[in-house]
Amino acid sequence: MDLQEYLNNVAQDTNLMIRRYFGDTTDTLNKASAHLLLAGGKRLRPAILLLAADAVRKGSSYDLMHAALAVELTHTFTLIHDDIMDRDTERRGVPTVHSFWDEPTAILAGDVLYARAFEFLSRAPAPDSAKMRAVALLAHTCAQICEGQHMDMSFEKRTDVTEGEYLEMVQKKTGTLFAASAAIGAILAGGKSTQVDAVHQFGLLCGIAFQIQDDLIDLISRSERTGKNRASDIRKEKQTLIAIRAREKGIDLTSYRKVHSDKEVDAVVRELRSAGIITEVQETAQQMVERGRKTLTILPESEERKLLLSLGQYFIVRRY
C-alpha cells in the first residue's frame, strides 16, 4: 500500500466515525461543532496515530479509531478558535464557524469538541495506566497549543521576532499535536518508552516542517485549492519564517498588506523567489523532516515505519 492509498483509507474510516457521531445533530450548538468536521480534511493526525501504533505492534490500530478521532476533534477545536482570533472567513472551502453562526456559538462549539476528544480517548481498549498517560499527554498538548497560539498573536505586534522564537511558536502550536498523536498511538499499542519518545520526536519535528510548508502554501497556492484565503498571513502581518527571512534581506512585506488578487500575490512570490527566500524556507522544512526521520531508526523494519517516513516527506511536498 502506498502512502496516498493509506491516507485515503484513514480519511474514509475517520469520516465514517464523524458521520456516525456528529452527522445527525439537530440543535444549533452541535451543528456548529460538526460544521468543520463534516467539511472534510486530510485526517493526518489520525493517520500518524494509527501508523505509530502499528509500527510498535502490528494490528493494534484496529482498536484505536476512537483515539484517532480524539486527535482529529482536538485539531478541529483549535481551528474553530483560531479562526475567531484570526478573523478568517473561510476554512476547508466553507464559511468558518463564527462567520456562519456567531462568535459565542463558535467558542462553545470548539469547547464541545475539546471535551468530546477526551471522552473518545478514554474509550480506547488499553490498560488504564496507558489511557492515563495518553489523557495526560493530550491535556498537556492542549495547553501547549494555547501557548503557541498566544505567541503567534503576540508576534503580530512586533517586527523583531527571531527565527528561534518562530520555531518555538510553531513547535507548540502545530508540532506538539502531531507529536502527541504519534506518541498516543505508541502508548496505547503498548510501546516501550524509547519507542514512544522516538515517534513523539518524529511527530514534533515533522509537525514543525508541516507548519513551515503551510506558511508557504498560504502564499503560493490558490484559494480554490486550499479552501482558505490566499496570502492571509501577509495581510495580517504574521511573523512567519518567510516574513523573518524577508526582513533579514531588506524586503518589507508590510507594503503588501493590501494585496488581494492572485496577480498581486504572484508578484510578491516572484520577489521572494528572486531573493532566494522561498528556497531557503523549503530547505529548513526539509532539514526538520530529515532530523525526524532519523529518530525512527529505533523502530523495527515494517511497512508502517516506511509509511511514517513517507508521511514526513509528504508534509513538505503537499500543495494544499
Task: Give the H or E element holding residue 94.
Answer: strand 94-95
DSSP secondary structure letter of residue 5: H
* pLDDT band for position 259 (cuts 50, 70, 90): confident
Domain that holds residue 168: 3-314
Q: What is the mean pLDDT of residues 86-97?
A: 90
The DSSP code sequence of 194-257 is HHHHHHHHHHHHHHHHHHHHHHHHHHHS-HHHHSS-TTHHHHTT---HHHHHHHHTT--GGGGT
Whether the Cβ atoms of residue 305 and residue 185 lie closer than 8 Å to each other: no
- 152 or 221: which leads in pLDDT: 152
* pLDDT band for position 196 (cuts 50, 70, 90): very high
Q: What is the mean pLDDT of residues 284-305?
A: 96
In a domain, 319, yes or no: no
CATH number at residue 112: 1.10.600.10
What pTM value is reported for the model?
0.94
Q: What is the mean pLDDT of residues 218-235?
A: 78
Q: What is the mean pLDDT of residues 187-199?
A: 97
Q: What is the mean pLDDT of residues 296-302?
A: 94
Tens of pLDDT, residue by residue over 25-49, are 889 999 999 999 999 999 999 999 9
In a domain, 177, yes or no: yes
Cell numbers 503498548 label which residue? 190
In a domain, 196, yes or no: yes
In a domain, 73, yes or no: yes
In a domain, 199, yes or no: yes
In a domain, 257, yes or no: yes
In a domain, 320, yes or no: no
In a domain, 9, yes or no: yes
Question: How many domains does the structure of the chain reveal?
Answer: 1
The mean-pLDDT minimum among 104-108, 119-123, 142-146, 263-267 falls in 263-267
Q: Residue 250: which region, alpha, beta or left (left: phi > 0; alpha: psi -120 to 50)?
A: left
